[in-house]
Amino acid sequence: MSLRSDRYFFVLVAVVWFLLSGCSPMVFTAGAGPLDTIGSFFDDLGRSISQTTRRITGEPSGRRSAPVSAPSDGFILKIERSTLVPTVVYRGEQVTLILRYLIGGAPEQGVTVREKSALSSEGKELKVLKDESSEKENGTWENTLSFAVPASAKPGKYAVTLQVSAQGKTRNVRHSFTVR
Protein backbone atom coordinates (compact mmCIF):
# COMPACT_ATOMS: atom_id res chain seq x y z
CA MET A 1 0.00 0.00 0.00
CA SER A 2 1.09 3.49 -0.73
CA LEU A 3 1.07 6.35 1.77
CA ARG A 4 -2.05 7.79 0.12
CA SER A 5 -4.05 4.56 0.42
CA ASP A 6 -2.87 4.20 4.05
CA ARG A 7 -4.48 7.55 4.85
CA TYR A 8 -7.79 6.51 3.24
CA PHE A 9 -7.71 3.23 5.14
CA PHE A 10 -7.08 5.07 8.42
CA VAL A 11 -9.94 7.51 7.73
CA LEU A 12 -12.25 4.61 6.85
CA VAL A 13 -11.35 2.76 10.07
CA ALA A 14 -11.84 5.93 12.13
CA VAL A 15 -15.29 6.56 10.62
CA VAL A 16 -16.40 2.93 11.10
CA TRP A 17 -15.11 2.93 14.69
CA PHE A 18 -16.99 6.18 15.41
CA LEU A 19 -20.23 4.84 14.00
CA LEU A 20 -19.99 1.49 15.77
CA SER A 21 -18.89 2.86 19.14
CA GLY A 22 -22.43 3.75 20.19
CA CYS A 23 -22.58 7.16 18.67
CA SER A 24 -25.31 7.64 16.17
CA PRO A 25 -24.54 9.47 12.97
CA MET A 26 -25.65 13.05 12.80
CA VAL A 27 -26.93 14.78 9.71
CA PHE A 28 -26.56 18.54 9.59
CA THR A 29 -28.90 20.53 7.41
CA ALA A 30 -29.06 24.18 6.52
CA GLY A 31 -32.15 25.20 8.51
CA ALA A 32 -34.92 23.20 10.07
CA GLY A 33 -36.32 20.54 7.82
CA PRO A 34 -39.85 19.14 7.95
CA LEU A 35 -38.97 16.39 10.45
CA ASP A 36 -37.29 18.87 12.74
CA THR A 37 -40.36 21.14 12.63
CA ILE A 38 -42.76 18.27 13.32
CA GLY A 39 -40.70 17.08 16.27
CA SER A 40 -40.53 20.50 17.88
CA PHE A 41 -44.27 21.01 17.23
CA PHE A 42 -45.14 17.88 19.24
CA ASP A 43 -42.57 18.61 21.95
CA ASP A 44 -43.84 22.17 22.43
CA LEU A 45 -47.47 21.05 22.37
CA GLY A 46 -46.90 18.18 24.80
CA ARG A 47 -45.21 20.44 27.35
CA SER A 48 -48.08 22.93 27.34
CA ILE A 49 -51.08 20.59 27.86
CA SER A 50 -52.94 20.91 31.15
CA GLN A 51 -56.29 19.45 32.08
CA THR A 52 -58.66 19.11 35.01
CA THR A 53 -61.95 17.30 35.54
CA ARG A 54 -64.35 18.33 38.28
CA ARG A 55 -67.80 17.40 39.36
CA ILE A 56 -70.37 20.15 38.79
CA THR A 57 -73.51 18.53 40.22
CA GLY A 58 -74.37 15.36 42.11
CA GLU A 59 -74.19 14.20 45.67
CA PRO A 60 -70.83 14.52 47.43
CA SER A 61 -69.12 11.22 48.23
CA GLY A 62 -70.66 9.50 51.22
CA ARG A 63 -74.03 11.28 50.81
CA ARG A 64 -76.45 9.51 48.54
CA SER A 65 -79.95 10.51 47.61
CA ALA A 66 -82.26 9.41 44.82
CA PRO A 67 -80.20 8.44 41.75
CA VAL A 68 -80.33 10.48 38.57
CA SER A 69 -83.24 9.11 36.57
CA ALA A 70 -82.27 6.99 33.60
CA PRO A 71 -84.13 5.65 30.60
CA SER A 72 -85.27 2.04 30.48
CA ASP A 73 -81.85 0.90 29.21
CA GLY A 74 -80.46 2.15 32.52
CA PHE A 75 -77.51 4.38 31.62
CA ILE A 76 -77.24 7.98 30.38
CA LEU A 77 -74.13 9.55 28.88
CA LYS A 78 -74.88 12.96 27.39
CA ILE A 79 -72.74 15.90 26.32
CA GLU A 80 -74.44 18.97 27.76
CA ARG A 81 -72.04 21.63 26.50
CA SER A 82 -68.69 22.02 24.81
CA THR A 83 -66.70 25.09 23.87
CA LEU A 84 -63.35 26.03 22.38
CA VAL A 85 -61.94 29.53 22.82
CA PRO A 86 -60.52 31.43 21.04
CA THR A 87 -61.37 30.27 17.53
CA VAL A 88 -58.59 32.38 15.96
CA VAL A 89 -55.15 32.22 17.60
CA TYR A 90 -51.55 33.14 16.97
CA ARG A 91 -48.56 30.94 17.71
CA GLY A 92 -47.81 30.91 21.42
CA GLU A 93 -51.39 31.69 22.46
CA GLN A 94 -53.51 29.43 24.66
CA VAL A 95 -56.50 27.38 23.43
CA THR A 96 -59.03 26.21 26.04
CA LEU A 97 -61.65 23.52 25.58
CA ILE A 98 -64.46 22.80 28.03
CA LEU A 99 -66.52 19.62 27.86
CA ARG A 100 -69.49 19.26 30.21
CA TYR A 101 -71.22 15.89 30.30
CA LEU A 102 -73.89 14.07 32.30
CA ILE A 103 -73.72 10.57 33.74
CA GLY A 104 -76.98 9.05 34.92
CA GLY A 105 -78.20 5.61 35.90
CA ALA A 106 -74.74 4.42 36.89
CA PRO A 107 -74.36 1.87 39.70
CA GLU A 108 -73.61 3.23 43.17
CA GLN A 109 -69.88 2.51 42.84
CA GLY A 110 -69.77 4.55 39.60
CA VAL A 111 -68.56 3.68 36.11
CA THR A 112 -65.28 3.85 34.25
CA VAL A 113 -65.36 6.89 31.96
CA ARG A 114 -62.81 7.44 29.21
CA GLU A 115 -62.09 11.03 28.17
CA LYS A 116 -60.10 11.46 24.98
CA SER A 117 -59.19 14.51 22.94
CA ALA A 118 -57.13 14.66 19.76
CA LEU A 119 -55.76 17.46 17.58
CA SER A 120 -56.04 17.12 13.81
CA SER A 121 -55.31 19.13 10.68
CA GLU A 122 -56.43 18.46 7.13
CA GLY A 123 -58.20 15.30 8.29
CA LYS A 124 -55.06 13.78 9.85
CA GLU A 125 -54.71 13.20 13.59
CA LEU A 126 -51.59 15.03 14.76
CA LYS A 127 -51.58 14.35 18.49
CA VAL A 128 -53.70 12.77 21.19
CA LEU A 129 -53.94 15.57 23.74
CA LYS A 130 -55.52 13.46 26.45
CA ASP A 131 -56.65 9.85 26.84
CA GLU A 132 -57.53 8.97 30.42
CA SER A 133 -59.98 6.72 32.20
CA SER A 134 -61.30 7.18 35.71
CA GLU A 135 -64.23 6.21 37.90
CA LYS A 136 -67.13 8.65 37.90
CA GLU A 137 -70.45 8.67 39.74
CA ASN A 138 -73.81 10.03 38.59
CA GLY A 139 -73.80 13.77 38.05
CA THR A 140 -72.54 16.46 35.72
CA TRP A 141 -68.81 16.57 35.09
CA GLU A 142 -66.73 19.28 33.47
CA ASN A 143 -63.36 18.70 31.84
CA THR A 144 -61.14 21.68 30.99
CA LEU A 145 -58.20 21.17 28.65
CA SER A 146 -55.72 23.92 27.70
CA PHE A 147 -52.68 24.00 25.48
CA ALA A 148 -50.43 26.60 23.90
CA VAL A 149 -50.22 26.70 20.12
CA PRO A 150 -46.57 25.82 19.41
CA ALA A 151 -44.32 28.41 17.83
CA SER A 152 -43.65 25.86 15.09
CA ALA A 153 -47.36 25.50 14.16
CA LYS A 154 -48.14 26.25 10.55
CA PRO A 155 -50.90 28.76 9.87
CA GLY A 156 -54.18 27.08 8.93
CA LYS A 157 -57.25 25.28 10.24
CA TYR A 158 -57.01 22.77 13.06
CA ALA A 159 -59.67 20.74 14.86
CA VAL A 160 -59.97 19.13 18.27
CA THR A 161 -62.21 16.10 18.69
CA LEU A 162 -63.48 15.50 22.22
CA GLN A 163 -64.79 12.05 23.07
CA VAL A 164 -66.33 10.64 26.23
CA SER A 165 -67.13 6.91 26.58
CA ALA A 166 -68.68 4.72 29.28
CA GLN A 167 -70.74 1.53 29.49
CA GLY A 168 -70.45 0.93 25.74
CA LYS A 169 -71.71 4.42 24.82
CA THR A 170 -69.56 7.04 23.10
CA ARG A 171 -70.28 10.71 22.51
CA ASN A 172 -68.15 12.98 20.27
CA VAL A 173 -67.96 16.66 19.55
CA ARG A 174 -65.54 18.51 17.25
CA HIS A 175 -64.38 22.13 17.37
CA SER A 176 -62.21 24.03 14.90
CA PHE A 177 -59.77 26.90 15.30
CA THR A 178 -57.49 28.82 12.97
CA VAL A 179 -53.81 29.56 13.55
CA ARG A 180 -52.66 32.81 11.95
Question: pLDDT tens across 95-134, in order?
Answer: 999 999 999 999 999 999 999 999 999 999 999 999 999 9
pLDDT for residue 14: 44
Higher pLDDT, 24 or 175: 175
Q: What is the CA radius of gyration of the chain?
A: 25
Q: Considering the chain, what percentage of its residues have pLDDT values greater than 90? A: 58
- Average pLDDT in the chain: 78
pLDDT for residue 11: 45
Question: pLDDT tens across 38-57, in order?
Answer: 555 556 666 767 777 778 88
pTM above 0.85, yes or no: no
Q: Is the pLDDT of residue 164 over 90?
A: yes
- CATH number 1.10.730.10 given to 50-59+69-180: no
DSSP sequence for the chain: --HHHHHHHHHHHHHHHHHHTTPPP----SS--HHHHHHHHHHHHHHH-EEEEEEEESPPTT---SPPP--TTS-EEEEEEEEEE-SEE-TT-EEEEEEEEEEES--TT-EEEEEEEEEEETTEEEEEEEEEEEEE-SEEEEEEEEEEPPTTPPSEEEEEEEEEEETTEEEEEEEEEEE-
Domain ranges in the chain? 50-59+69-180
Question: pLDDT tens across 130-154, in order?
Answer: 999 999 999 999 999 999 999 999 9
Higher pLDDT, 37 or 80: 80
